[in-house]
């Protein structure tokens, strides 16, 4: 069956037909490394990791590239604030980025090109645009001339006049059109710079992505992804630069995720309404964040609240508990199983349904509902007092199906995670709470036994009127 994806360029779901049969070349706009990334930024990192792995699961050979924007106004501002050079800021936060995406269970991209490592290629592309009359030089700055590119606005679905009235653009009398954007910025006092035919300066953000994506994936590639805030101007400008220079279609399918909102507003650094992914990861394991995003369609907005994350965690625990109950049941089977699994038709239908949902523009929310249905089927069997071979085989089949899908969902590692966080302190607290309850119910033989066993393990217990206190000898 064909995979369909919603293409922002055509505003419709289209069948995914790769340029080269069996191969997908995919680019995701990566982070600007001037700070720790927030949980809104984590949405594209997580969902496109899942999509990329799903495409591999469906048999495509996927080449996945994510850039690192390591020179930018925000990095320069941070370097001035922190009194260190821009390269130090970029290194610190790109190291942090790699640590955080690893913790999120994101598989490494095939390439992570950096803007500062591609300056000669960036200069070459700008020169080409100048030669073709699509860019012009003013006082050491180079601007792209949007009115000289025929299809400017095709991704946003607006013409230049509509875009002009909707955009917040700085007034710069040197530009021919207010929407013209900088390809090269002349150096200012104290800023990092590179030599170029237009003097010392640095590249604009949009040209970096055109250069790095085409260098790694070719002049025309299959999928370009990012958050919906990048449609205009970033991706619109990438199209203008790339197609202006090559005369070829730049990207076949454009994918954009919806925002993560907090109290109805987009989470963003500039609004200050953000939590860093690092902070959130101290409260919730990565698998909870993954299922939190999986339970929504990637193009829909998603609200971030304690309550919704907790719901995601409960849903994940339902899956994990069922799988471990299946393991316990299968351990008890202790015999060669034969015959056909129970519920075969319904398990197969849920399995096919899951794939059909994923094939339909990566509808992870619909796909997850099939997993929950599988879990329900398993629990119906697990409530029985005795299992037949057919029951055992059904449990096995359900587990294998979920484990197979986890090759791209990346949520089942949650259990191990939980185990590593069990502490001695937490267990002692649990035992002491049980002991208090036993005392309250006047079951003193058992409560004394807990006390003696803990003392034998070197735990001192002092009973206070409100609650016992303890310490290790
Ligand atoms: P930035 O570092 O701001 O360029 O953002 C990195 C990625 O995160 C881009 O793909 C943005 O579109 C995306 N992004 C930023 N804020 C949000 C948000 N609140 N919800 C979803 N995606 C976001
Ligand atoms: Zn980009």
The ligand minimizing its distance to the Cα of 230 is: 1
User: How is the chain split into domains, by residue range?
Assistant: 12-283, 306-472
Name the residue of 227, 292, 296, 303 whose CB sits within 8 Å of the most ligand 1 atoms, as the mutation to test its pocket.
Answer: 227
Task: Report phi then psi at 260, rounded to 5.
Answer: -95, 120
Rounded distance from Cα 96 to ligand 1 centre (Å) = 17
The ligand minimizing its distance to the Cα of 257 is: 1
Lining residues, ligand 1, CB within 6 Å: 29, 31-32, 40-41, 43-44, 226-227, 229-230, 257, 259-260, 266-268
Residue 310's pLDDT is what?
96
Nearest by Cα to 157 from 249, 222, 236, 247: 236
Residue 416's pLDDT is what?
53
The ligand minimizing its distance to the Cα of 31 is: 1
Exposure string for 80-99, b = 16+ CB within 10 A, e = fewer: eeeeeebeebbebbbebbee
**Closest Cα to atom 17 of ligand 1:** 40
Which CATH topology does 12-283 take? Rossmann fold (3.40.50)
Determine if the peptide bond prior to 233 is cis (ω within 30°). yes
Rounded distance from Cα 279 to ligand 1 centre (Å) = 17
What span, in angstroms and rounded, lies between the C-alpha atoms of 116 and 97? 17
Residue 375's pLDDT is what?
98
Name the residue of 31, 41, 48 whose CB sits within 8 Å of the most ligand 1 atoms, as the mutation to test its pocket.
Answer: 41
What span, in angstroms and rounded, lies between the C-alpha atoms of 152 and 156? 9
Which CATH topology does 306-472 take? 1.20.120
SS3 269: coil
Residue 421's pLDDT is what?
56
Residue 418's pLDDT is what?
54
- 306-472: same fold as 12-283? no
Contacts of residue 277, Cβ cutoff 8 Å, sequence gap at least 6: 36, 37, 38, 39, 41, 42, 100, 104, 289
Judge whether 285 and 418 are in contact, CB under 8 Å: yes
- Describe the chain by its helix, strand, coil percentages, rounded to 5: 50, 15, 35
Residue 208's pLDDT is what?
98
Residue 253's pLDDT is what?
98
Q: Which atom of ligand 1 is nearest to the CA of 302?
A: 20
Rounded distance from Cα 29 to ligand 2 centre (Å) = 4
pLDDT in single tens digits along all 473 residues of the chain: 799 999 999 999 999 999 999 999 999 999 999 999 999 999 999 999 999 999 999 999 999 999 999 999 999 999 999 999 999 999 999 999 999 999 999 999 999 999 999 999 999 999 999 999 999 999 999 999 999 999 999 999 999 988 987 777 777 889 999 999 999 999 999 999 999 999 999 999 999 999 999 999 999 999 999 999 999 999 999 999 999 999 999 999 999 999 999 999 999 988 999 999 999 999 999 999 999 999 999 999 999 999 999 999 999 999 999 999 999 999 988 788 999 999 999 999 999 999 999 999 999 999 999 999 999 999 999 999 899 999 999 999 999 999 999 999 999 999 655 545 567 877 888 899 899 889 988 999 999 999 999 998 888 888 877 678 888 77
Name the residue of 26, 44, 257 whose CB sits within 8 Å of the most ligand 1 atoms, as the mutation to test its pocket.
Answer: 44
């Amino acid at each position: 069956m064909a995979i369909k994806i919603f293409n922002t360029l055509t505003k419709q779901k289209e069948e995914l037909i790769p340029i080269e049969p069996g191969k997908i070349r995919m680019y995701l706009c990566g982070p600007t490394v001037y700070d720790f990334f927030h949980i809104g930024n984590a949405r594209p990192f997580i969902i496109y990791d899942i999509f990329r792995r799903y495409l591999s699961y469906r048999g495509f050979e996927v080449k996945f590239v994510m850039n690192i924007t390591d020179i930018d106004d925000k990095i320069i501002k941070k370097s001035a604030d922190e009194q260190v050079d821009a390269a130090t800021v970029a290194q610190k936060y790109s190291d942090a980025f790699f640590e955080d995406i690893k913790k999120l269970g994101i598989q490494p991209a095939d390439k992570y090109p950096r803007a500062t490592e591609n300056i000669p290629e960036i200069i070459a592309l700008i020169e080409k645009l100048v030669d073709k009359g699509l860019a012009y030089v003013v006082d050491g700055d180079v601007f792209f001339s949007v009115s000289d590119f025929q299809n400017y606005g095709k991704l946003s679905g607006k013409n230049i006049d509509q875009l002009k009235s909707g955009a917040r653009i700085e007034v710069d009398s040197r530009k021919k059109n207010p929407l013209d954007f900088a390809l090269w910025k002349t150096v200012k006092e104290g800023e990092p710079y590179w030599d170029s035919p237009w003097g010392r300066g640095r590249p604009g953000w949009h040209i970096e992505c055109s250069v790095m994506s085409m260098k790694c994936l070719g002049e025309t590639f299959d999928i370009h992804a990012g958050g919906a805030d990048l449609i205009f101007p970033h991706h619109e400008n990438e199209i203008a630069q790339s197609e202006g220079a090559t005369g070829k279609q730049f990207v076949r399918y454009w994918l954009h995720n919806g925002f993560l909102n907090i109290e109805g507003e987009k989470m963003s650094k500039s609004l200050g309404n953000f939590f860093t992914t690092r902070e959130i990861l101290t409260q919730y394991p990565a698998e909870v964040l993954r299922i939190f995003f999986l339970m929504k369609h990637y193009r829909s907005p998603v609200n971030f609240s304690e309550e919704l994350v907790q719901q995601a965690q409960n849903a994940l625990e339902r899956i994990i508990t069922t799988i471990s109950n299946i393991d316990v049941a299968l351990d008890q089977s202790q015999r060669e199983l034969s015959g056909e699994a129970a519920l075969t038709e319904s398990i197969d239908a849920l399995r096919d349904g899951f794939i059909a949902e994923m094939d339909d523009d990566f509808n992870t929310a619909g796909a997850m509902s099939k997993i929950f249905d599988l879990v329900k089927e398993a629990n119906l069997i697990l409530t029985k007092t005795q299992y037949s071979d057919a029951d055992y085989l059904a449990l096995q089949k359900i587990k294998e199906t979920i484990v197979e899908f986890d090759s791209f969902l990346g949520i089942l590692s949650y259990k191990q995670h939980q185990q590593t966080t069990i502490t001695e302190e937490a267990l002692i607290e649990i035992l002491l709470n049980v002991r208090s309850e036993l005392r309250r119910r006047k079951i003193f033989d058992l409560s004394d036994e807990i006390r003696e066993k803990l003392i034998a393990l070197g735990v001192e217990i002092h009973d206070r009127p409100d609650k016992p206190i303890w310490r290790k000898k």
